[in-house]
Amino acid sequence: MTKKLLGLVLAVALIFGSTFFISMRDIFAAPSIISGVEDGKYYNTSVTIEFNDDLYDVTLNTVLITSGKLVEADGTYTLIVSDGVEVLETINFWIDKVIPEVTGVNNGDYYNTEVSPEYTDTSPVSATLNGSPFTSGTPITEDDDYILIVTDEATNEITINFTIDTIKPEVTGVIDGAIYNTSVSAVFTDSSPVSATLNGFPYYSSTLITVDDEYVLIVTDEANNKTTINFTIDTIAPVVTGVEDGKYYNDPPKAAVFSDATATLNGLAYTSGTPITADGSYILVVTDLALNKTTINFTIDTIDPVVTGVEDGKYYNDPPKAAVFSDATATLNDDPYISGTDITTDGVYTLVVTDLAGNITTITFTIDTIDPEVTGVEDGKYYNDPPKAAVFSDATATLNDEPYISGTDITTDGV
The answer to whether the 101-164 and 170-233 domains have the same CATH topology is: yes
| 170-233: CATH topology | Immunoglobulin-like (2.60.40)
Q: What are phi and psi of 122, to 5 degrees?
A: -75, -15
CATH architecture of 101-164: Sandwich (2.60)
CA within 13 Å, CB half, 273? 1
Q: 108-154: per-residue pLDDT in tens?
A: 999 999 999 999 998 899 999 999 999 999 999 999 999 999 999 99
Q: 323-362: per-residue pLDDT in tens?
A: 999 999 999 999 999 999 999 999 999 999 999 999 999 9
Domain spans of the chain? 34-95, 101-164, 170-233, 240-300, 307-367, 373-404
Q: What is the pLDDT at residue 15?
A: 44
pLDDT of 16 > 70? The answer is no
Q: What are phi and psi of 16, to 5 degrees?
A: -100, -5
pLDDT of 27 > 80? The answer is no
Mean pLDDT of 378-387: 91
Strands (E), 8-53: 41-43, 47-49
Mean pLDDT of 176-180: 97
Query: How far, in Å, CA of 205 to CA of 221, rounded?
Result: 13
Of residues 363, 385, 388, the one with CA closest to residue 375: 388
Q: 274-313: per-residue pLDDT in tens?
A: 999 999 999 999 999 999 999 999 999 999 999 999 999 9
The pTM of this model reads 0.68
Q: What is the DSSP string of 273-329?
A: T-EE-S-EEEEEEEEETT--EEEEEEEE--SPPP-BS--TT-EESS--EE-B-SSEE
**Burial (CB count within 10 angstroms: exposed 0-12, middle 13-18, buried 19+), residue 229:** buried
Q: Are strands 144-152 and 125-129 parallel, antiparallel or unpaired?
A: antiparallel
